Structure 1
Amino acid sequence: MLTSQAKYAIGQVVRHRNHPFRGVIFDVDPVFASTEEWYAAIPEARRPRKDQPFYHLLAENERDYYVAYVSEQNLVRDEAAGPVGHPDVADLFGPFDGRSYRLGSALN
């Protein structure tokens, strides 16, 4: 059962609460929608609830760019709010407006 509406929106820049990465949201699942294998790989004491929104991010850390799947409870707004350097950002979004990205014109 869904416990709340999604707190974050597509195009918003967020940070992981516990790990050193940030990213831009490009999709939202209202509840957990990945595989049980993915879920089981998370240490049991740190597994997020499945009944909350999960976000797909074009993510970056100091060394890499990748796609991340993160529960809402593990995200916070990125107060620095600078642009995300992930190379796929330009494929999905228009320019960064200082707080978030808008979907690119081909996707509207």
Structure 2
Amino acid sequence: MPLDGRAAFQLGVLLLALPLQLLISSYYNAGDETQRTFILNRLITKAAVIKEQLFTWDTWQNWCQDLYNKVKMLKSLNQESDAGTDDPALEESYKAHSREYFGASKEPRYPRPPHVKYRVGQVIKHKKWGYRGIIVGWDPYTKAPESWIKEMHPADKPHWRKKPSYSVLVDTRDRPEPQATYVAEENIEVVTNTKVIHPAIDDYFYKYDGAQYLPRPKYKSLYPQG
């Protein structure tokens, strides 16, 4: 169902209200004149950005419609979860959202299987596509939806299914849009003395020692042996 103009505008105003209210509240609670001046400048800047970038009808309509579609999709997935489905395609779609694919499982990887060649924190280069990245997870064998495997694995590489695959944060100098990939072990080449740029690095690691990134304690508990 498309959003009408009134609904889109109301939704947008409500979503903008919270950050502006927080800034105004901070202004009145500031302890001295310097803090108030700083917060007031932020408030003026934020208002200018909103006026310049957001107050056009096409922008609001497209943004709000996209938000509505995402909420509708999540609601649909929840309904499928509760009711089940006899449609194999829908069933596979739901499973793809509910399982822990692409090295994202929260189960500790211990002990580390001897056939898993690479470790979390190592900087790698993709042998085929050439981009750099950091390993942030691995599976002892490929764990991904069947449709993804059929699309991404070459027909002459059926053995990849039974080999380790690695979740990798891609360097934004090689691919400007921040992203993660899931790479077969055969496509990985380790590099040293190379830092990677990605906005999510600090979520996983606290330091680069010249050879690899060192995981934060909470993340190291998932991969005690790397």
The TM tier, using the shorter chain, reads 0.7 to 0.9
Equivalent pairs, count: 104
Deviates more, 1:92-101 or 1:35-44: 35-44
2:217 is aligned with 1:105: yes
Q: Which residue of 1 aligns with 2:120?
A: 10
Does the 8 Å contact 1:48/1:71 carry over to 2?
no
Q: Which residue of 1 aligns with 2:160?
A: 49
Greater relative contact order (CA < 8 Å, ≥ 6 in sequence)? 1
Q: Which residue of 2 aligns with 1:63?
A: 176
Question: Could you list the runs of 5+ residues in structure 2 that have no partner in the other structure?
Answer: 1-113, 221-226
| Higher Cα Rg, which structure | 2
Normalising by structure 1, report the TM-score.
Answer: 0.85
Give the strand-richer structure, 1 or 2. Answer: 1
Residues 26-67 of structure 1 show CA distances to partners (whole Å, capped at 9, x for unaligned) of 111000101111111124246662111100011122423211
Q: Distance in 2 between the 1:89 and 1:30 partners? A: 23
Query: Could you tell me which amino acid in structure 2 is paired with residue 85 of structure 1?
Result: I
RMSD: 1.8
Query: Could you tell me which amino acid in structure 1 is paired with residue 216 of structure 2?
Result: G
Report deviation, 1:91. 0.9
Question: Could you list the runs of 5+ residues in structure 1 that have no partner in the other structure?
Answer: none
Give the helix-richer structure, 1 or 2. Answer: 2
2:188 is aligned with 1:75: yes
Deviates more, 1:67-76 or 1:54-63: 54-63
Normalising by structure 2, report the TM-score.
Answer: 0.43
**Equivalent of 2:203, from 83, 88, 91?**
91
Q: Distance in 2 between the 1:9 and 1:23 partners? A: 13
Q: Helix, strand or coil for the counterpart of 1:39?
A: helix
